[in-house]
Amino acid sequence: MRAKVNQDINISDYNGVWVISEQNLGKLHNVTLELIGEGRKLADKINKEVSVVVLGENIENIVKQLEEYPVDNIICIDKPELKHYNTDIYANCIDEIIKEMKPEIVLFGATSIGRDLAPRVSAKVGTGLTADCTSLEIDDIDGKLLQTRPAFGGNLMATIICPKNRPQMSTVRPGVMQKAQKIENKIAKIIIPNIDKNNLISKVMFKELLINDKPRVNLQDAKIIVSGGRGLKTPEGFKLIEELAEALGGVVGASRAAVDSGWIDHSHQVGQTGTTVRPELYIACGISGAIQHLAGMSESKTIVAINSDPNAPIFKVCDYGIVGDLYKIIPELIEQAKNN
């Protein structure tokens, strides 16, 4: 789709921060709570309201969950046509309400759905979109949204502004922002906009929902992560990583080199093109500490690195570094963990 930028707008007509919520089987996606936390921070800085947009069918339960968080408005579009995610219909509805209600900032999660939906909405509305942001700030001088994201393969961080168009739109990487805290008394006002019935029509038909019931590692909520990299040298090396993770009550992560070698599934990958994590303890075993890996784990509370190369960059970011052969060190750690 070719985006036509809408030059003919008055910036002062646009107001407030919107979060486009995501839910799965009746439960709010973590990224929605992260966006509410970030949206609240941005809105407070410019003295504006935070609104969450919920699309779906029978969304009362989601609305109830959202009311526990510090949002000023919950904009509900509850239609049978929205039961399952559909790019056309979701994009049409969001486009319609943006044009009508004119938010100043709109945030989506950089999830599979957010990455599909946000570009279409931005093209329809005729504004810009900064994808995969890892930091958002309000400029102290002119109040514009400063949207920061990795560029050139993660080798530099680019800060992007949307100078002339509104809304300012971003997708935000899951796991990077702090989740919103629950509040005691609900403050949210429910808004139910009218939707043009032509916007509920799509050429795409939903056929079947296939759920991948293979257990997926939950890196984002893990308190302890033990990650393995190319230094393991063989896929069997992950047995040792698994053993240490199990002894510590943690889960297994991996570098992209290990994933690309086919040693472990991509769902375990930590980093720029994997999952962003912030556990209490992150143990990097045989991982050099490339910038794209650090982008996904440097916010961990305590970082331990095991590497045979004393000059490995991971030692610059770790709290505890062990120089040596992981095949000698990890069995000792497992022994210690089991005895404690």
CB of 269 to ligand FAD, least distance (A): 6
CB of 29 to ligand FAD, least distance (A): 20
Residue 273 as a binder of ligand FAD (CB under 6 A): the answer is: yes
Question: Cα(55)–Cα(53) distance, rounded to whole angstroms?
Answer: 7
Which range touches ligand FAD (CB under 6 A), out of 92-100, 166-174, 192-200, 290-298?
Answer: 290-298
CB of 297 to ligand FAD, least distance (A): 9
Residue type, 69: Y
One of 325, 331, 335, 338 touching ligand FAD (CB under 6 A): 325
Window 205-234: residues binding ligand FAD (CB under 6 A): 229-231
Of the candidate residues 147, 272, 276, 300, the single one contacting ligand FAD (CB under 6 A): 272
C-alpha span between 109 and 144 (Å, rounded): 20
Instruction: Check whether 272 is labelled as a binding-site residue.
Output: yes
258 φ, ψ (degrees, to nearest 5): -70, -40
CA quadruple 308, 310, 312, 313: dihedral sign: positive
Is 174 an interacting residue with respect to ligand FAD (CB under 6 A)?
no
Establish whether 278 is an annotated binding residue: no
Pairing of strands 23-24, 27-28: antiparallel
Query: Quick check: 326 and 243 in contact, CB under 8 A?
Result: no
- From CA 167, how far away is CA 194, in angstroms rounded? 20
**Residue 166 known to bind ligand:** no
Contact between residue 282 and residue 303 where contact means Cβ atoms under 8 Å apart: yes
Rounded to whole angstroms, how far apart are CA atoms 41 and 50? 9
In this chain, which of 95, 286, 303, 333 binds ligand FAD, going by CB under 6 A? 286
The only residue of 256, 277, 300, 333 in contact with ligand FAD, by rule CB under 6 A? 256
**β-strands 145-151, 23-24 pairing:** unpaired
State yes or no: 336 annotated in a binding site: no
What minimum distance in Å lies between the beta carbon of 317 and ligand FAD?
A: 13
Q: How is residue 1 written in tokens? A: 């789709």
Q: Which is nearer to ligand FAD, 88 or 299 (CB)?
A: 299
SS3 content of the chain, % helix, strand, coil (to 5): 30, 25, 45
Looking only at the bridges linking them, the beta strands covering 168-172 and 105-109 are parallel
Under the binding rule (CB under 6 A), the answer on residue 293 touching ligand FAD is: yes
Residue numbering of the annotated binding site for FAD: 230, 255-256, 269-273, 286-293, 307
Binding site for ligand FAD (CB under 6 A): 153-154, 229-231, 255-258, 269-274, 286-288, 290, 292-293, 296, 306-309, 312, 325-327
Residue list for the binding site: 230, 255-256, 269-273, 286-293, 307
